[in-house]
Amino acid sequence: MRGEGKRLEGKVALITGGASGIGLATVQKFVREGAKVLVVDIDAERAEKVVAEIEADGQAGSVAAAQADVSVYADVEAAVQRAVDVFGRLDVIFNNAGIAGGKALLDHDPAVDYAPMIRVDQDGVYHGILAAGRQFKSQGTGGVIISTSSIYGEQAAELAFSYSAAKAAVISFTRSAAYELAEYGVRAVAITPGRVGTPIINQFSEELRTTFASEQLRNALTEPSEIADVVAFLASDEANAINGTVVHVDDGYSVFKQRLDLPTF
């Protein structure tokens, strides 16, 4: 895990959902870039395993783990405090933890198909923004808030009524946070991944994964590491001019519908 640039040298980051998928790839990227990272996940055992693997790769002291259910504000607040206790400060939070799934609207059981998605994908980001924002203000040193929205946060899609609503809220939260926290030197940015080869998508059939891949311009699923590369840039001082906006990391998903075999004119 060595040999790359150190654009995040001296920064402390908290990454939710850090034990798998985009979160895990971002933990690994941040450590390579010189950051200290608190790996936060609802699965404490998996978070500790990530820490052990990174430490075994020669990065002892660069990572620590914390268990948190992001739908509970007290858990997120405690995770922020743990980052400060272990590493002395907080510079970046990546609100990435989320759940997926869906059902046709008229088949919804609100307690199953709406409330959990809102609690994790929407409220979890709100909790991260609030807890980190308060910490950044008290430190007086500014900070960066990066939150995972989705291509679905900007459009309607199949079986995604609740998911799309939660991810749209993340975009709105980001704009408002950037506006309200700018006076404290805080930047807020949202990313909108498209079809990414995470465990959530990789569990589906090859036929469905092929369909997902065809929706992007490279005709391939995006790798979690490619999303992590963008997040690392956004967390760095090189991205100081990017604030209050949405960065599409969807390999063109949002710019076209489908490829056509055109007739000869």
Q: Which residues are catalytic?
A: 163
Q: What phi and psi, each to the nearest 5 degrees, are found at residue 138? A: -65, -35
What is the β-pairing status of strands 92-95 and 12-16?
A: parallel
DSSP state of 196: B
- Determine how many CB atoms are found less than 10 A away from the CB of residue 91: 23
What is the β-pairing status of strands 63-67 and 36-41?
A: parallel
In whole angstroms, give the CA distance from residue 48 to residue 41.
9
Q: Could you tell me if 30 and 87 are in contact, meaning their C-beta atoms sit under 8 angstroms apart?
A: no
Residues 6+ away with beta carbon under 8 Å from 117: 99, 101, 162, 163, 165, 166
Angle value at C-alpha 92, between 87 and 95, nearest 5 degrees: 115
Q: Could you tell me if 27 and 12 are in contact, meaning their C-beta atoms sit under 8 angstroms apart?
A: no
Strands (DSSP E) contained in 17-81 are: 36-41, 63-67
Q: Could you tell me if 65 and 38 are in contact, meaning their C-beta atoms sit under 8 angstroms apart?
A: yes
Coil, strand or helix at 62: coil
